[in-house]
Structure 1
Amino acid sequence: MRIALITPGGLGPTAGGGGIPVITRLAEMLAEDHCVTAFSLSRVEQPPELNIWHPDTQSVTRSSVLQALRALINEGRRTPFDVIHGFWSFPAGALAVVAAKLTGARSVVTLQGAETAAVPEIGYGDLLNRYHTMRSRLTCRAANAVVLLSHLQERAFHNAGFRARQTEVIPWGVPDSVFRYAPSVLSEPLQFVHVANLTEVKNQARMLRVFGQIAARRPAELTIVGPDHMQGRLQAITRELGLTDRVRFTGYLPQPAVAEAYRKAHFLLHTAYWESQGVAAIEAAMSGAVPCGTPTGCMADRDDACVTSDDDDELIEAILDVADDQTAYRAMLDTGRATAAAQDSTWNAATYVALYSRLLAAA
């Protein structure tokens, strides 16, 4: 099968931690058995061992999108693509749809982030912008298949009036070779970890307040992993809350070090406003930490393996209840691990191949 993958960027690691490991891993796994060309709409700093087209520009521009379209058409005319798959509805998803129509390929669009979100508190989400909503709807309607990352996102997709010829829920999986299961013994101080880019949509200020209330009642420590895009505001909040001796910021870490941080923790604490999936919860469950936080993304889908609430007081009490109950804690670990292992990165690639094959058979 000849497959084109289109992404705004994120293929391979970057110095600042800007890579998107799940997309890079999918491309590499597909390339083991299929002919894959990846098209990045911005420059790839450290290309993985893939056939990659990318422009010289560091960010996505109108010029880089048009260059990618020309490259896709030229490649497709030399050796036709069977499937063209874009990640995010715009511009990569729209480009996948246009290129597929021009070359006779099947088109797939995976909605990765803000397309079905509306968070007015911080002005986040395409649904807050009529133009962004319209272009996502048009892209999804024209694609042969639209992939969503959680059932929560699927409900948001339909509630927002999106339509598609075919929708599939295919959550990202992670490899157990990296996120090896080795849970820590549940004991005090309780160990919490948070893994994410430090951005407003992750609502880490709320996370720090929740952790502060837990730490006022139990010995507890929090490790925050991820590049800082908030200019030190979270560190300032940590000082204001008097938590500097309980909270550690590591900045960006490579995946093996992230996996080790999960294994040292008892709980992942994640209070995002919105997640299409929230891969950190899958990584934590695979490694041996119980995800806790707001019911968004996959954490809303897996309440038997996560501690969730929209109410801070309820969330805190629920976390402490699990921390006091070794049996309940172990049951959540086992359930989370089983689900994550059943839908790991190998399953993820195989599920995409099955989708591509069905689309080709129906052509």
Structure 2
Amino acid sequence: MKLAMVVPGGVDRSGQRRVIPALLALIERLARVHDLHVFVLRQEAAPGSWSLAGATIHNIGDGWTRLRALQTIRAEHRRAPFDLVHAFFSGSCGLLAMAMAKWLRLPATVHIAGGELVALHDIGYGGRRRWAGRLREALVLRAADAVTAASAPIIESLRALGVQAQRVPLGVDLQQWPPIAPRGRNGAQARLIHVASLNRVKDQPTLLRALALLMQAGVNFHMDMVGVDTLGGDMQRLAGELGLQGHVRFLGFKTQRELRPLMAAADLLVMSSQHEAGPLVLLEAAVMGVPAVGTAVGHFAEWSPRAACAVPVGDWRGLAEAIKYVLDRDELRLHLACEAQRRAIAEDADYTAGVFEALYRQLVAAGEAGGLRAVR
């Protein structure tokens, strides 16, 4: 098949920075057997194209982006017709993909991969904060011939909107992340890790306040915080105000290769997000034999209590108590790690690609038979 995938970003020509690892793993697997063209709205400011993971990347760039994206997709369709359009994320790229699919009379699917369905007004996040966003999401979801999402909570959110969707977790590339068996703690100091951009939706203030409570309780720990700082040093200043200088290390961005040894050395992954569709880092930790404690979003919500420990969003006291509870019970920590690893390996990147390929075949066959709506 010839496939058109529309994405907002995450496919930098370096293959290392400004990328979405799960998206690259999917692209690589699809490109092995299909002619895959990825249309990215704003990876770079200037238009351009390059090869990545076996696919052709078409960067639209700044200036009349949507119009030029439509023209670029149509031109490639004229060279050789596409069989299907896949929007990775809804929002602007989902609307563009659905419009293009209708224009070219092609089947189309959209994967909800971020905050498209939420409205977090206090931090200015989510696709449903304004009427225009709600209208856009409604158009995308109704126009799509199939809708997918990574975790059960997102599937439930879609069902509440009257949209039937298929759960397709974005799995880990086990070639890049070879599994390591869960192991007992080695040493008196607990090694914690947090992997996420420093931004409002990841809610690092909740995490840091939880760590401050652990420190006050006499817990011996060290936390590595990995991720791009988008908050201008606010979290480093908060850590200082809370007296965490000797307990927390801010490491900034790390490539996947740089992240692996840090993850392997950890006893526990800790996340504090207000919203997640996944997150992928929970799956990466799981394949490395590292269990997780976090807020009840995405995979944390669907895995708790057997494969992860989840607490309410924003509850730093509950987060601190959960971290201490798991650290004090190594048998429980290992049980969580084993069950999490089993799930992450069962739904790895190969599994993800296989599910999407089966969906593509179903959509194309239904389109040829004139029955696309039957697959929803």
TM-score, normalised on structure 2? 0.90
Q: Cα distance, 1:47 vs. partner?
A: 5.3
Deviations 1:212-263 (A, max 9, x none): 2123321000000011000000000011011111111111111011122111
Q: Cα distance, 1:361 vs. partner?
A: 1.9
SS in 2 for 1:69: helix
Name the residue aligned to 1:194. 194
SS in 2 for 1:208: helix
Name the residue aligned to 1:205. 205
Q: Cα distance, 1:158 vs. partner?
A: 2.6
Q: Which piece of structure 1 moves more, 204-213 or 69-78? A: 69-78
Q: Is the 8 A contact 1:12 1:20 kept in 2?
A: no
- Which runs of 5 or more residues in structure 2 are unaligned? 368-376
Q: Is the 8 A contact 1:307 1:315 kept in 2?
A: no
CA distance in 1, matches of 2:174, 2:61: 35
Name the residue aligned to 1:219. 220
Q: Which among 338, 343, 346 is matched to residue 342 of structure 1? A: 346
Q: Which among 156, 168, 171 is matched to residue 170 of structure 1? A: 168
Alignment of 1:118-267 (within 5 A): 118-159=119-160, 161=161, 163-164=162-163, 166-182=164-180, 183=182, 185-186=184-185, 187-216=187-216, 217-267=218-268
Q: Is the 8 A contact 1:184 1:265 kept in 2?
A: no
Name the residue aligned to 2:26. 26
Q: Which piece of structure 1 moves more, 229-238 or 172-181? A: 172-181
Identical amino acids, percent of aligned pairs: 29
Name the residue aligned to 1:308. 310
Amino acid at match of 1:94: L
Name the residue aligned to 2:286. 285
CA distance in 2, matches of 1:117, 1:188: 41
Q: Cα distance, 1:48 vs. partner?
A: 2.0
CA distance in 2, matches of 1:184, 1:236: 34
Q: Tell me: CA distance 1:290–1:103, structure 2 relative to 1, closer, same or farther (3 Å).
A: same
CA distance in 1, matches of 2:159, 2:179: 36
TM-score, normalised on structure 1? 0.93
SS in 1 for 2:166: strand
Name the residue aligned to 1:275. 276
Q: Cα distance, 1:15 vs. partner?
A: 10
Q: Is the 8 A contact 1:180 1:259 kept in 2?
A: no
Q: Give the count of matched residue pairs.
A: 356
CA distance in 1, matches of 2:188, 2:9: 41
Which runs of at least 4 in structure 1 moved beyond 6 Å after TM superposition? none
Amino acid at match of 2:351: W
Amino acid at match of 1:6: V
Q: Is the 8 A contact 2:25 2:173 kept in 1?
A: no
CA distance in 2, matches of 1:175, 1:27: 11
Q: Cα distance, 1:104 vs. partner?
A: 2.2
Q: Is the 8 A contact 1:5 1:27 kept in 2?
A: no
Q: Which piece of structure 1 moves more, 270-279 or 177-186? A: 177-186
SS in 2 for 1:4: strand
Q: Does 1:356 align with 2:353?
A: no
Name the residue aligned to 1:53. 58
Q: Tell me: CA distance 1:215–1:184, structure 2 relative to 1, closer, same or farther (3 Å).
A: farther
Q: Is the 8 A contact 2:291 2:334 kept in 1?
A: no
Q: Is the 8 A contact 1:22 1:173 kept in 2?
A: yes
Q: Which piece of structure 1 moves more, 179-188 or 224-233? A: 179-188
Amino acid at match of 2:167: V
Q: Tell me: CA distance 1:243–1:13, structure 2 relative to 1, closer, same or farther (3 Å).
A: farther
Q: Does 1:115 align with 2:116?
A: yes
Q: Is the 8 A contact 1:202 1:273 kept in 2?
A: yes
CA distance in 1, matches of 2:13, 2:288: 21
